[in-house]
Amino acid sequence: MVEIEKWTGLISSSFLKNGRVVEWLDKGTQYLLQWFKSIPDLNIIFFSMNVFDLIINDKEQVLFNDIFLDEANRQKFEQLIKEHKYIDELSQYGLPVNNKILLHGNSGCGKTMTAKAIANTLGKNILILNLSNVVCSRIGETSQNIKQVFDKAGREKAVLFLDEFDQIGKARGNDDKDVGEMRRLVNTLIQLIDYYPEKALLLCATNHPEIIDTALLRRFQLRINFEMPIPEVLDQYYNRLLSRFPIELQNIERKYNISFAEAKDYTFTLVKSELIKELEEKQKIVKV
Ligand SMILES: Nc1ncnc2c1ncn2[C@@H]1O[C@H](COP(=O)(O)OP(=O)(O)O)[C@@H](O)[C@H]1O
Ligand SMILES: [Mg+2]
């Protein structure tokens, strides 16, 4: 209660002092709205989204060795990591390092996981932002939001992971005003990418690279494709997934032509159902 009174006091005094609209940027503190409504002098409150609330600050420790990658991709990521490890030494020879990477391909094949592993290996913070959450109807606001996120990642020399990157191209509307706004958003993004500091990494992921503006695509020094796993690779993945369970649960009917994520869900669902069956059998015996 004391907190609420403090806020109410703060806001009304700031309103009275400035005599203008209070622009309120915070988490969805719905309960405060009721209080604001009770302040007699407060006429208008803008509720605006804070883009930093949309950033996922993931601390999951993903190891590179846990990712199934084909040899060519593994080598590209190893080189990328080493370039950043020796960034200062390389810069002494005027050698730039790659830091803008597009990850494309089927969902559930390891794009997000790889971004986390890169951040983890380099000891960098990762900021995960799904662009479908940011691209809002007011495109002008979207540019501002994206700029704030780039600034934060650049300052922190972090890994910025923009998921569903194609949303930038997709939001193009039908009327001329939208097309103009969208072009401005793409231009803002191009500038942000061009001036993004070398010690920070930008990883963008998409399942639809074909709909991304070509001027944007050219900015990525590396473009890496994540393919659906062939049956031999999925078998290795199943072997690994199942190895933690008792031998009698390991003999599941395996499905192929699916992503790693689907194979994992499928396996876990089967194993869980088997385990539950066993548990229920045991309970029955106890009751009898
Ligand atoms: N290449 C892979 N190697 C091992 N596990 C994977 C791989 N791809 C996906 N997975 C599993 O599926 C989950 C979801 O994958 P994710 O990285 O989010 O895929 P994407 O971002 O490409 O949609 C991961 O957390 C992991 O458990
Ligand atoms: Mg993903």
Q: What is the pLDDT of residues 160-171, one digit of tens each?
A: 999 999 988 554
Q: Which atom of ligand 1 is nearest to the CA of 67?
A: 3
Question: What is the overall mean pLDDT for the chain?
Answer: 84
pLDDT at 217 over 90: yes
Is the CB of residue 111 below 6 angstroms from any atom belonging to ligand 1? yes
CA distance 127 to 173: 28
CA distance 133 to 251: 41
pTM of the model: 0.81
- More reliable by pLDDT, 230 or 282: 230
pLDDT at 197 over 80: yes
CA distance 258 to 229: 7
For residue 50, the model assigns a pLDDT of: 77
The DSSP bridge pattern shows strands 222-226 and 100-105 to be parallel
Task: Specify the range with the lowest mean pLDDT, choosing from 20-24, 76-80, 235-239.
Answer: 20-24
pLDDT at 47 over 50: no
- More reliable by pLDDT, 17 or 186: 186
Is the CB of residue 153 below 6 angstroms from any atom belonging to ligand 1? no
32-60 average pLDDT score: 68
Which chain residues have CB less than 5 Å from ligand 2, an ion? 111-112
For residue 20, the model assigns a pLDDT of: 36
- More reliable by pLDDT, 27 or 202: 202
For residue 28, the model assigns a pLDDT of: 46
Q: 109 CA distance to ligand 1 centroid (A)?
A: 5
pLDDT at 251 over 50: yes
Pocket test for ligand 1, best of 56, 69, 101, 109 (most atoms within 8 A of CB): 109
Residue 144 CB: number of other CB atoms within 10 A?
A: 11
CA distance 149 to 180: 23
Q: Which atom of ligand 1 is nearest to the CA of 105?
A: 22
Is the CB of residue 260 below 6 angstroms from any atom belonging to ligand 1? yes
Pocket test for ligand 1, best of 118, 232, 260, 267 (most atoms within 8 A of CB): 260
What ligand has the least distance to the C-alpha of 66? 1
The pLDDT > 90 percentage for the chain reads: 61
Q: Roughly how many angstroms between the first and final C-alpha of the chain, as a whole number? A: 56
Note the pLDDT tens digit of each residue in 101-128.
Answer: 999 999 999 999 999 999 999 999 999 9
For residue 52, the model assigns a pLDDT of: 81
